[in-house]
Structure 1
Amino acid sequence: MGDIAKGVLGGGWALVVGWILPTALNLAVFLFTVAPSLHRPPFLERLLPTGQAALPLLVAAILLGLVLNALQTPLYRFLEGYALWPTAAYERGCRKQRARRRRTADRLALAASASPIRRALLSEKLSRYPADDTQVAPTRLGNAIRRFEEYGYDRYRLDTQVLWNELTSAAPDWTRRQIDTARTNVDFFVALLYGHLAVAVTAFAALAASDADHMVLIATGVSLSALIPLWYHASVAATDEWAAAVRAMVNLGRKPLAEALGLVLPKDLHDERTMWHLVTRMSRRPYAPAARDAFAPYRAGPTDPPTPTA
């Protein structure tokens, strides 16, 4: 029972809260507002008898939640502006986000006499952009995620996109749990957003039915469409905790990662950045003989054998 509880409170809990729960909410809205206006085949009438929709709803929520969880990478990539975006739209979005970033930075610089709360809000908005202007993405969610994707490389030349599995394996357990918990909040709003979009489109499409309840369908479609920007803003704000968790893992996991790779973390920050640059490059490229001399200053010596006792 203890192992089961750990599994539920670990990755299983993130799956339930992040994907299955919002899917169940969207299915419930669909069932009570859109489904009555749709023509249902006879076999669905047998599977979904009146007053007994709880079990089919639960099963459908679990199955669809698992599907969304499996598709989370393309779902995120579209909202980040990387997938299915025409080149012109991508470049226009990047220009718009760079301009917004500059305006926020200018407003923060001019807010020296403003209240601390005002400066904190502007600083929070600015912190949701990557440090490097060339890393700016075409959407706010893309930038909010990109800021911690490039954090390790910007500070230490440790590319977390390349060394993610190694870093999460070597970092303390509690940092990994923090990341999973923080990401669950973003997953929840992303799943809710996509679900609202699907139900709203279905509601508007159902208006073509002859016996449809037009008032309910219009109210449902308009309400859900109005909530989509709210969930998008919430997903962007929820990345703050995710970014803090990744930052903690990079800062605290560098030394265990270096030791796990058989390296010694240099005392000088410049040397450390050089070392992580070499590790990242070696992970991405085929081995070259020059790597032997390049890694020599950072390689840990062999451990002394234990001294036998009498």
Structure 2
Amino acid sequence: MGDIAKGALGGAWSLLVGWVLPTALNLAVIATALMPSLRDVPPFETAARLAEGRGTLAFLTASLMLGLVLNALQNPLYRILEGYLLWPSRAYEYGCRRHQAIRRRLSDRLLLMRLERRAAEGSLPPVDRADLALLRHSRHLARYRRVDQRSTVTRRALLQERLARYPVDEGHLAPTRLGNAIRRFEIYAYDRYLLDSQLLWNELTATAPEQARRQVDTARTSVDFFVCLLYGHVAVLLAAAATLVSASAEALVVATTAAVLCIFIPVWYRCAVSATDEWAAAVRALVNVGRHPLAASLGLGVPKELAAERTMWSLVSRMPRIPYHERAAALDHYRLPPQDHAGDGTA
């Protein structure tokens, strides 16, 4: 039934589930917990009168309109949580240093567990023995050693999962967990193939298989849902603060609502970070299976050698980024004869 609904709604499914539904949930909290106290506050008094007698219609209309607005603002909303927008320089630099230390610590913990396991199974090469001794005496790993020594395969997999939410290159680290979790798959295509997927995203999604594009949209919807829910909770907290000016404010209800929302905001943030795992897998699949149709649509043939393919995608990525230069003629080496792609409508 869910697949039928998704097929019927098409692109509206992501909008409804990702932005309208969480907006409706936050409006429901306002209507049930705060509206009785907000009726005497001037900014909300008019809205309360308008909703009288047309409650359901007003609720659905407000949910839809606010959901559309939040969907239109999704880029700046994401950038704030990723640490790129409205972050002071010192906070940005501190966040990057903090996550750099976390990433290195996770990597060292996994390396230490791997070397100790190999040492228990047999002899280690001299280089690995030196690394093992260095890690065993590392101060920043001392607090984790006892726990890691008793760790199971599942716990090691969870540590590996946390490490996988960081970009492979420390130069691409962001100051927040969500920023790093998203940045890891933004640079996947460039790290593997020198294909700038961010720059060529429209071309890539226009030529990739339909199933791959649908997987990306579906996976992102889960992240959108938690991001919208988080921002909605912040807005509800501000509304709760507005009830303090009301003489008839129900202090216990407002305080309880605010406390619950403060607990759930970090929970939704962590859920958004975890939900990026499926998003990352979908983007990875899109790049792996979509780069060949992309090359064909551009009139190019993918070389058999990976090094040559990386060179080709590097040249392709430069074309829309910088003005034309005669060095771009190096792409002629990868262009297919006209008869090989005339059927695709390319030139």
Tell me, yes or no, if the aligned pair for 2:82 and 2:180 is still in contact at 8 Å.
Answer: yes
Q: CA–CA distance in 2 between the matches of 1:139 and 1:76? A: 11
Which residue identity does 2:21 align to in structure 1? Answer: L
Q: CA–CA distance in 1 between the matches of 2:7 and 2:286? A: 22
Name the structure 1 match of 2:300.
263
Residues 36-80 of structure 1 show CA distances to partners (whole Å, capped at 9, x for unaligned) of 111266654542226x52221111000000000000000000000
Name the structure 2 match of 1:85.
87
Displacement of 1:200: 1.2
1:66-215 alignment to 2 at 5 Å?
66-112=68-114, 113=117, 114-215=151-252
Tell me, yes or no, if the aligned pair for 2:300 and 2:335 is still in contact at 8 Å.
Answer: yes
Is 1:220–2:222 an aligned residue pair? no
Tell me, yes or no, if the aligned pair for 1:201 and 1:221 is still in contact at 8 Å.
Answer: no
Which residue identity does 1:37 align to in structure 2? Answer: S
SS at structure 2 position matched to 1:200: helix
Name the structure 2 match of 1:24.
24
Structure 1: runs of 5+ lacking an equivalent: none
Name the structure 2 match of 1:297.
333
Q: CA–CA distance in 2 between the matches of 1:34 and 1:119? A: 45
Residues 277-308 of structure 1 show CA distances to partners (whole Å, capped at 9, x for unaligned) of 0000111111112222x1121111121799xx
Tell me, yes or no, if the aligned pair for 2:41 and 2:243 is still in contact at 8 Å.
Answer: no
Displacement of 1:243: 0.3
Q: CA–CA distance in 2 between the matches of 1:188 and 1:144? A: 16
Is 1:36–2:36 an aligned residue pair? yes
Is 1:10–2:10 an aligned residue pair? yes
Is 1:47–2:84 an aligned residue pair? no
What TM-score does the superposition give when structure 1 sets the normalisation length?
0.93
Tell me, yes or no, if the aligned pair for 2:41 and 2:245 is still in contact at 8 Å.
Answer: no
Q: Which stretch has the larger CA shift, 182-191 or 208-217?
A: 208-217
SS at structure 2 position matched to 1:110: helix
Identical columns (%): 59
SS at structure 2 position matched to 1:303: helix
Residues 66-115 of structure 1 show CA distances to partners (whole Å, capped at 9, x for unaligned) of 00000000000000000000111000000001111111111111233442
Q: CA–CA distance in 1 between the matches of 2:111 and 2:9? A: 44
What TM-score does the superposition give when structure 2 sets the normalisation length?
0.83
Residues 184-235 of structure 1 show CA distances to partners (whole Å, capped at 9, x for unaligned) of 0000000000000110121123123211100111111111011000000000
Name the structure 2 match of 1:273.
310
Residues 131-181 of structure 1 show CA distances to partners (whole Å, capped at 9, x for unaligned) of 111000000000000000000000000001100001001110100000000
Which residue identity does 2:178 align to in structure 1? Answer: L
Which residue identity does 2:209 align to in structure 1? Answer: P
RMSD: 1.8
SS at structure 2 position matched to 1:284: coil
Q: CA–CA distance in 1 between the matches of 2:106 and 2:326? A: 47
Could you tell me which of 63, 71, 75 is aligned with 1:61? 63
Tell me, yes or no, if the aligned pair for 1:204 and 1:218 is still in contact at 8 Å.
Answer: no
Q: CA–CA distance in 1 between the matches of 2:249 and 2:11? A: 41
SS at structure 1 position matched to 2:10: helix
Q: CA–CA distance in 1 between the matches of 2:178 and 2:214? A: 22
